[in-house]
């Protein structure tokens, strides 16, 4: 993405030349003799707003963040297996890509919590609290 963004200033100059040529052709002057500030401003707006946002979408869709990939994997597990409650170890034991470590699983679970897919439940049995996750009944009912 950085390489693409680095080329945008040069692209803005080229687009401003094209706009100057188009304006000259529309006016019937034949050839463009100068590139005005208006041409540069329009080109910068087109390149900076329109093309840059398309590049962000294109490059962003190539590879989502690891926690998003992990959250998607856990959501697939919940949907395909009808899981209602689970612990971090249950997810790790499935050996899925992006979910091999406790940290990766917890980051993915935080994403699912923020989207209200699951809820964290802490149980006290005298020692260290046991943490489990329950699936939102609305999600479980829709599966």
Q: Does residue 120 or residue 58 have the better pLDDT?
A: 120
| Rounded Cα gap, residues 90 and 83, in angstroms | 10
Concatenating the DSSP letter of every residue in 84-140 gives: -EE-HHHHHTTT-TT-SSHHHHHHHHHHHHHTTSEEEEEE-SSSSPEEEEEE-HHHH
pLDDT at residue 47 is higher than 80: yes
> Sheet of 130-135: strands edge to edge?
85-86, 130-135, 118-123
Mind listing the pLDDT tens digit for each residue in 97-108?
778 888 999 999
Q: Are 84 and 61 in contact (CB under 8 A)?
A: no
Please tell me the pTM assigned to this model: 0.55
pLDDT at residue 142 is higher than 60: no
Domains, in order of start, for the chain: 2-60 (no CATH), 66-142 (1.10.10.10)
Mean pLDDT score, 56-77: 81
| Rounded Cα gap, residues 26 and 23, in angstroms | 5
pLDDT at residue 143 is higher than 60: no
Q: What percent of the chain has pLDDT over 90?
A: 36
Could you give the C-alpha distances from 122 to 35, 43, 97, 129, 130, in angstroms and in order? 67, 56, 27, 6, 6
What is the reported pLDDT for 62? 61
Mean pLDDT score, 36-55: 87
Q: Does residue 143 or residue 137 have the better pLDDT?
A: 137
């Amino acid at each position: 993405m950085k390489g693409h963004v680095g080329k945008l200033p040069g692209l803005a100059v080229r687009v401003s030349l094209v706009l100057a040529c188009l304006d000259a052709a529309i006016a019937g002057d034949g050839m463009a003799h100068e590139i005005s500030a208006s041409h540069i401003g329009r080109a910068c707006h087109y390149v900076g707003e329109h093309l840059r946002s398309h590049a962000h979408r294109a490059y962003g869709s190539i590879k989502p963040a690891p926690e998003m990939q992990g959250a998607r994997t856990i959501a697939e597990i919940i949907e395909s297996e009808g899981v209602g409650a689970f612990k971090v170890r249950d997810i790790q034991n499935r050996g899925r890509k992006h979910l091999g470590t406790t940290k990766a699983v917890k980051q993915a679970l935080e994403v699912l919590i923020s989207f209200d897919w699951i809820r964290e439940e802490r149980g006290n049995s005298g020692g260290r609290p046991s943490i489990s996750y329950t699936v939102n009944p609305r999600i479980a009912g829709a599966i």
